[in-house]
């Protein structure tokens, strides 16, 4: 039986590191698990300028000096080419699109994607990546991603050279859509969408800790996401969407959406890939396809994991991690 596993140092192409007092803990925790991360811009205030990006990177590196930090900016308005170039110089590799009101800190999101087509034209020209929170705000909650796919198909036609990532893909229809679009269209897969369905949020009792956007969907959808992850198709790679909120902000009236998965992501992935007999495909999923898509060098460092059971703490950094209190099989 396999007792040791050597993997390339993982990349996380979608993580929330927040701001203020929480940032240092979340950044350190991310650096324990990942060599490189793409940090999302829905901080308060948002990352929406070169100055903000520069400052944010500085704060992350102060806490986690060895973390390779890639940045995104928030597409809440149109930007000039000069502004985009300045951001690009400061480590920004992607523009993050949030539709209005669909998730945490998206009150400044965009109502009509066509309103920001001028900026998308520049994003394509500068070869930045367009990163999409793909949910249609007014649709029924379990159909929001499916209803968004028409916008993705339209973007792909109108901007044929634009690299687009549909973040946290969560439905069978979206997996099929991504697989059928050209090679410049990819998707990230989270750990939680590989293991949860809506039953894990509201099926037996209300489990606020598993509440996130897009919602974990049906067993059929989860199966499609799993098959995409285990397919070896280079269009699908890891972006955890690890999104910590304090226990108080999760377990209250109007609790926040987001799952804190960074501390447990890789151990859970090893377990899931092992279960499916697909461990040979894990290196590319966590440290290959994403880097290739973003046109950056692959990681060369390696990390060793050992099979030793451990119990996930009930809280970490003031938040409840995914699978809190449960036993995992692998650790670093
Ligand atoms: O569940 C989520 N939480 N989904 C997102 O898209 C954002 C994230 C957050 O920032 O908390
Ligand atoms: Zn996110």
Residue to mutate, 187, 191, 213, ligand 1, most ligand atoms under 8 Å from C-beta: 213
Task: Examine the pLDDT at 110 and tell me if it is beyond 90.
Answer: no
Mean pLDDT, to the nearest integer, of 16-25?
97
The string of pLDDT tens digits covering residues 90-101 is: 999 999 999 998
Task: Examine the pLDDT at 104 and tell me if it is beyond 90.
Answer: no
C-alpha 4 to ligand 2 mean position (Å) = 31
C-alpha 40 to ligand 2 mean position (Å) = 6
Q: Ramachandran region of residue 284, left (φ > 0), alpha (ψ -120 to 50) or beta? A: alpha
Mean pLDDT, to the nearest integer, of 44-60?
98
Task: Examine the pLDDT at 1 and tell me if it is beyond 90.
Answer: no
Task: Examine the pLDDT at 76 and tell me if it is beyond 90.
Answer: no
SS3 assignment, position 108: coil
C-alpha 173 to ligand 1 mean position (Å) = 21
C-alpha 2 to ligand 2 mean position (Å) = 33
Is residue 25 within 8 A of residue 59, CB to CB? The reply is no
Which of the ligands is closest to the CA of residue 243? 1
In this prediction the pTM is 0.98
Task: Using alpha carbons, select from 159, 59, 151 the residue that is nearest to residue 102.
Answer: 151
- Kindly report the average pLDDT of the chain as a whole number: 97
pLDDT at 101: 87
Nearest CA, atom 3, ligand 1: 258
pLDDT band of 157, cuts 50, 70, 90: very high
Atom index in ligand 1 nearest the CA of residue 105 equals 10
Q: Is the CB of 258 under 6 A from ligand 1?
A: yes
Residue to mutate, 187, 241, 246, 255, ligand 1, most ligand atoms under 8 Å from C-beta: 241
Task: Examine the pLDDT at 103 and tell me if it is beyond 90.
Answer: no
Atom index in ligand 1 nearest the CA of residue 102 equals 6
Give 8-303's CATH code, choosing from 3.20.20.140, 3.30.930.10, 3.30.720.200, 3.40.190.10. Answer: 3.20.20.140
Q: Which residues pair with 236 in a beta bridge?
A: 187
Task: Using alpha carbons, select from 161, 159, 142, 39 the residue that is nearest to residue 91.
Answer: 39
Q: Is the CB of 54 under 6 A from ligand 1?
A: no
pLDDT band of 209, cuts 50, 70, 90: very high
278 or 109, which is more confident: 278
Q: Is the CB of 103 under 6 A from ligand 1?
A: yes
The string of pLDDT tens digits covering residues 219-277 is: 999 999 999 999 999 999 999 999 999 999 999 999 999 999 999 999 999 999 999 99
pLDDT at 108: 85
pLDDT at 25: 98
Which of the ligands is closest to the CA of residue 257? 1
pLDDT at 194: 98
Atom index in ligand 1 nearest the CA of residue 98 equals 6
pLDDT at 78: 94
Residues tagged active-site: 241
pLDDT at 37: 99
pLDDT band of 319, cuts 50, 70, 90: very high
Q: Is the CB of 131 under 6 A from ligand 1?
A: no
Is residue 258 within 8 A of residue 32, CB to CB? The reply is no
């Amino acid at each position: 039986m396999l007792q040791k596993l050597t993997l390339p140092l993982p990349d996380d192409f979608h993580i929330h590191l927040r701001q203020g007092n929480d940032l240092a803990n979340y950044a350190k925790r991310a650096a324990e698990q990942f060599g490189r991360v793409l940090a999302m811009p829905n901080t308060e205030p948002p990352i929406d300028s070169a100055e903000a990006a520069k400052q944010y990177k500085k704060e992350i590196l102060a806490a986690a000096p060895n973390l390779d930090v890639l940045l995104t900016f928030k597409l809440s308005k149109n930007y000039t080419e000069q502004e985009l170039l300045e951001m690009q110089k400061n480590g920004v590799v992607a523009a993050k699109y949030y539709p209005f009101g669909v998730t945490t800190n998206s009150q400044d999101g965009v109502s009509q994607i066509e309103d920001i087509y001028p900026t998308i034209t520049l994003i394509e020209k500068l070869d930045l990546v367009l990163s999409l929170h793909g949910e249609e705000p007014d649709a029924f909650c379990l159909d929001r991603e499916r209803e968004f796919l028409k916008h993705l198909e339209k973007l792909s036609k109108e901007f044929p050279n634009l690299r687009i990532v549909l973040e946290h893909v969560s439905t069978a229809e979206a997996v099929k859509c991504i697989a059928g679009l050209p090679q410049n269209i990819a998707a990230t897969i989270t750990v939680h969408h590989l293991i949860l369905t809506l039953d894990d949020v509201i099926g037996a009792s209300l489990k606020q800790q598993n509440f996130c956007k897009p919602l974990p969907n049906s067993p059929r959808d989860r199966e499609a996401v799993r098959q995409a992850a285990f397919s070896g198709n280079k269009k699908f790679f890891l972006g955890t969407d690890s999104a910590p909120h304090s226990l108080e902000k999760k377990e209250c009236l109007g609790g926040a959406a987001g799952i804190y998965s960074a501390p447990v992501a890789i151990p859970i992935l090893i377990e899931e890939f092992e279960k499916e007999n697909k461990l040979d495909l894990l290196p590319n999923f966590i440290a290959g396809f994403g880097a290739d898509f973003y046109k950056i060098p692959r990681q060369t460092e390696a990390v060793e994991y050992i099979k030793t059971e451990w119990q996930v703490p009930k809280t970490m950094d003031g938040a409840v991690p995914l699978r809190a209190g449960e036993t995992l099989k692998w650790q670093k």
